A and B are shown apart, each in its own frame.
Chain A
Amino acid sequence: MTIIWFLVILFCLIMYIVFDGYDLGIGVGTLFERVPERKRHMIELVATGWDGNETWLILLAVGLWGGFPLAFGVILPHLYLPLIIALFALIVRGGSIELISQTENPPQILTWAFGIASLVAAFAQGFALGELTSTAHVVDGVYTGSEGGFPWYPIVLGVTVAFGYTALGYAYLKLKSEGELRVSAARRGGVVAVVTVVLGAVSLISIAGTAAPLNLATPGRALTFWGLIVFALVGAVTAAVNFRRRTDSHPTADLLPFAGLVVTTVATLLAFTVSHYPLLVPPSLTVNSAVGPYNTMVFLLVGIGLNIPLIIFYHWFAHRTFGGKFRVHETPQARTSILTGASNER
């Protein structure tokens, strides 16, 4: 049961990183977009999905709380600052995006707040993941403090994740947009994806210097790890190549950048899991030492586990309703003007 629940939590983490990754990434993209209409278009695209995407983060937190209560009580205080900053950013982001999409002419400060908060959230999340490799002091299951020192590894991972999310964001934009917005997403996305791969390689090598180096002692682990890394690379190369391609010569050129990056993200996360399992936080907090009591695990697996197919359905349904290319004139604001024209014809 421990392993099943651990996999459920890992699944939530992957879903969160892929889905909120793309919408945080589009948010970062708005910072570098000069044309107001395109900026607006990008924000509207995020507005239809961010709420559902962020729900995976809550399920991740609550899944950890119920299934591994000791880990919840240690990891969160251990990552206090980056998580608090990520939360600050997510609040500002959620508030500003709805204010923007419900207002005809939103003040500039809101769009800036949205973009900056997206960037800060992405960096802080990477930072938090990176800090999982630093030592937490635990006495009798109670967190008593963290190992000090300059947090260089979290910074490296924070930058990597910020670039990775941005690449996902551009890939999603290429998939969902048309015209010049798609062209610029393709151009920028290709560059960001290549930078991400380089940063990813740096993170991979430099993790050896942390308190939680890769554990590839058994051949099984080493083989799985390197296999997954190969997958990740293949995904990234596919994405980088297809960012450049046009749909008239390659019909799948809009889908493959996003699909490739999703493969990369999933494979990388699995690779890190394989190389650390069952360790959660160094030196000694493991999955088995933190697992909740039997009655709790049964309740979780039945109550929440059985609901997971259903929530995947909701998630799919919400994305499907807004499937296909997302068009500017479908936005609620633009609709007014289009319609006034339409009703005049009548």
Chain B
Amino acid sequence: MSLIDLSRWQFALTVCFHMTFPAITVGMSVFLCVIYAMYWRTKKPVYLQMFRFWRRIFAVGFALGVVAGEVITFQMGLNWGIFGAKTGPIIGPIIGMEVVTAFFVEAGFIGILLYGDGRVRHLTMFVSTVMVSIGTILSTTWILAANSWMQTPQGYTVQNGQYVPTDWVAAIFTPAFAWRYPHMLLAVLISGAIFIAGISAYYLVKNRSKGFARRSLSIALGVAALLVPVQLLVGDGLAGNVDVAYQPSKLEAIEGNWQNGNTGWVIFAIPDQAAAKNLVQISVPWLGSAIAKDPTGKTATPGLDNTPVNDRPDMAATFWGFRAMFFASLFLFATAFMSVVLRLRGKLWESRRFHKYVLWTTPIGIVAILGGWVTSEAGRQPWVVFGLLRTSAAVSKLAPGTVLFSVIGFSLIYLILLVAYIVYIVHTVKIGPERDDPRVTADLTPGATVESESAAPVELTPEVAR
């Protein structure tokens, strides 16, 4: 492997590891904020139980997301020093805005969200959950702005080899941002909801903590049912309005054709990049044309041969990244659709077979998001800033041995932490939400507690629960 391959692998590993956690925690932070509001208003113990349990799942994912995100920032300079120096005037300030408007907000309030329960008032707790979710959403916003500039750069001029901003509004609100931002925001909300639904379904399957599990499942699947159809439309709009218009090479690689003329849709392919042909290919007739909104079956999908050899992205990565996202989204749609049908028939909490299905699809939203990022980033190659800066010209001139050391180190650490995280989740889920029940562990919030200095009455009465 060459220096550039090593640096690309290191970056790919880091972003994939990182992305797994926001895919869970952004949606979950919003969920926690809603749950706490419901508890605060209704004082029903089950909401406090939900808040405490989901917070356990949230906490570790959040921490891992933070530390892996930190690594990404540093890698922009460590491994991609030339990229850092050239794009710094534009991307540096955008990420800087992320740090001051998102990271510090999250960091300031996450301690209260995690450890404040029982030490601070309900209002402070609630404000903290709101601030943390605002932080995670703003973080998504700025990151998408920075990455979208790399997809469809504008609002700059070139001075001494650096990209110098001339129009900040244009540089932040790029054509890619307009579609990719809603696409990503919906994606993290959906994957978080599916993750919550999956774990809740486990308790329904196991006949445990039903009050807790039913409410969690119901809220999570309600959110999924609303957002998944919107997401399919936004995703289609993204392909049509950004890829077709600005990045035809990415679209060609996604579709999996080398020559023009195929009116079908390639469902399976093993591409051979060097020979510019597919070794194996299964194509569904007519479907390609139909996706291009021509039901007569005459519109063909353009092939990657239209792009000069040196400007072609790797078809296998782009094609399969997209397929992973697309096939996962079919599962998501099925979940959303079935949940609505069952809900209307009043069987959402009864159908065991559905609960088992939901349990098995717990990580499917994360798979979709990772697939989507592979499509987006592999499909942009060989450019790091599309059409402007080649990835091969952006890499730091380091000794390959040094980079090999760091790739191995990161791989090991990520692998260990991922395993530790999964073990932790499984362990926490098996212990279950019973210990978080306020009838076992009282609410210590000042005003609601027996230990409170004010003589407020104890708010939790046994009959609420039983």
B116: interface (CB < 8 Å): yes
Query: Could you tell me if B417 and A299 are in contact, using CB atoms closer than 8 angstroms?
Result: no
Q: Contacts of A278 on B, CB cut-off 8 Å?
A: none
Query: Could you tell me if A296 and B85 are in contact, using CB atoms closer than 8 angstroms?
Result: no
Most B Cβ at <10 Å: residue of A98, A145, A304: A98
B81: interface (CB < 8 Å): yes
Of B96, B105, B166, the contact of A314 (CB 8 Å cutoff)? B105
Given contacts A55-B103, A144-B397, A295-B165, contact A99 B60 (CB under 8 A): yes
Q: Per-residue 0/1 for B89-101: is the Cβ within 8 Å of any A Cβ (1 yes, 0 no)?
A: 1111101110111
A335: interface (CB < 8 Å): yes
B59: interface (CB < 8 Å): yes
B229: interface (CB < 8 Å): no
A47: interface (CB < 8 Å): yes
Nearest-neighbour CB distance to chain B for A19, whole angstroms, equals 11
Of B69, B88, B108, the contact of A315 (CB 8 Å cutoff)? B108
Residue of B nearest to A48 (CB): B111
A219: interface (CB < 8 Å): no
Query: Could you tell me if A321 and B397 are in contact, using CB atoms closer than 8 angstroms?
Result: no
A191: interface (CB < 8 Å): no
Interface-facing stretch out of A21-29, A174-182, A200-208, A336-344: A336-344
Tell me, in angstroms, the Cα distance from A80 to B81 when the chains sit together: 11
Interface-facing stretch out of B156-164, B212-220, B245-253, B259-267: B156-164
Query: Could you tell me if A47 and B115 are in contact, using CB atoms closer than 8 angstroms?
Result: yes
Residue of B nearest to A85 (CB): B409
Q: Contacts of A343 on B, CB cut-off 8 Å?
A: 440, 442, 450
Query: Could you tell me if B63 and A95 are in contact, using CB atoms closer than 8 angstroms?
Result: yes
Tell me, in angstroms, the Cα distance from A83 to B74 when the chains sit together: 9
B185: interface (CB < 8 Å): no
Q: Per-residue 0/1 for B101-127: is the Cβ within 8 Å of any A Cβ (1 yes, 0 no)?
A: 101111111111011111110001000
A97: interface (CB < 8 Å): yes
B226: interface (CB < 8 Å): no
Query: Could you tell me if B85 and A83 are in contact, using CB atoms closer than 8 angstroms?
Result: no
Query: Could you tell me if B164 and A335 are in contact, using CB atoms closer than 8 angstroms?
Result: no
Q: Contacts of A311 on B, CB cut-off 8 Å?
A: 100, 104, 108
Q: Contacts of A339 on B, CB cut-off 8 Å?
A: 441-442, 444
Q: Contacts of A77 on B, CB cut-off 8 Å?
A: 77-79, 81, 396-398
Q: Contacts of A293 on B, CB cut-off 8 Å?
A: 89, 159, 162, 164-165
Q: Per-residue 0/1 for A156-171: is the Cβ within 8 Å of any B Cβ (1 yes, 0 no)?
A: 0000000000000000
Cβ < 8 Å to B, chain A residues 61-109: 61-63, 65-70, 72-77, 80-81, 83-84, 87-88, 90-95, 97-99, 101-103
A303: interface (CB < 8 Å): yes
B459: interface (CB < 8 Å): no
Of B68, B95, B120, B450, the contact of A65 (CB 8 Å cutoff)? B95
Query: Could you tell me if A296 and B90 are in contact, using CB atoms closer than 8 angstroms?
Result: yes
Query: Could you tell me if B441 and A336 are in contact, using CB atoms closer than 8 angstroms?
Result: yes
Q: Contacts of A97 on B, CB cut-off 8 Å?
A: 63
Residue of A nearest to B155 (CB): A295
Q: Per-residue 0/1 for B62-88: is the Cβ within 8 Å of any A Cβ (1 yes, 0 no)?
A: 111011111101101111011111111
Residue of A nearest to B61 (CB): A98
Cβ < 8 Å to B, chain A residues 11-57: 47-49, 51-52, 54-55, 57
Residue of A nearest to B167 (CB): A295
Of A66, A84, A321, A345, the contact of B92 (CB 8 Å cutoff)? A66
Q: Contacts of B398 on A, CB cut-off 8 Å?
A: 77, 80
Given contacts A81-B402, A87-B70, A97-B63, contact A70 B107 (CB under 8 A): no
B420: interface (CB < 8 Å): yes
A6: interface (CB < 8 Å): no
Given contacts A62-B95, A293-B164, A346-B458, contact A318 B108 (CB under 8 A): yes
Of B66, B73, B101, B406, the contact of A84 (CB 8 Å cutoff)? B406
Residue of B nearest to A76 (CB): B77
Residue of B nearest to A313 (CB): B108
Q: Contacts of B87 on A, CB cut-off 8 Å?
A: 69
Q: Give the B-binding residues of A (Cβ under 8 A).
A: 47-49, 51-52, 54-55, 57-59, 61-63, 65-70, 72-77, 80-81, 83-84, 87-88, 90-95, 97-99, 101-103, 141-145, 292-293, 295-296, 299-300, 303-304, 307-308, 310-311, 314-315, 317-318, 321-322, 330, 332, 335-336, 339-340, 342-343, 345-346
Q: Which 8 residue pairs across A and B have the least CB separation, nearest first?
A: A69-B88, A66-B92, A314-B108, A73-B85, A76-B77, A52-B107, A94-B67, A65-B92
6 A-B pairs within 8 Å (CB atoms) are namely: A88-B409, A91-B71, A292-B89, A295-B164, A340-B440, A342-B451
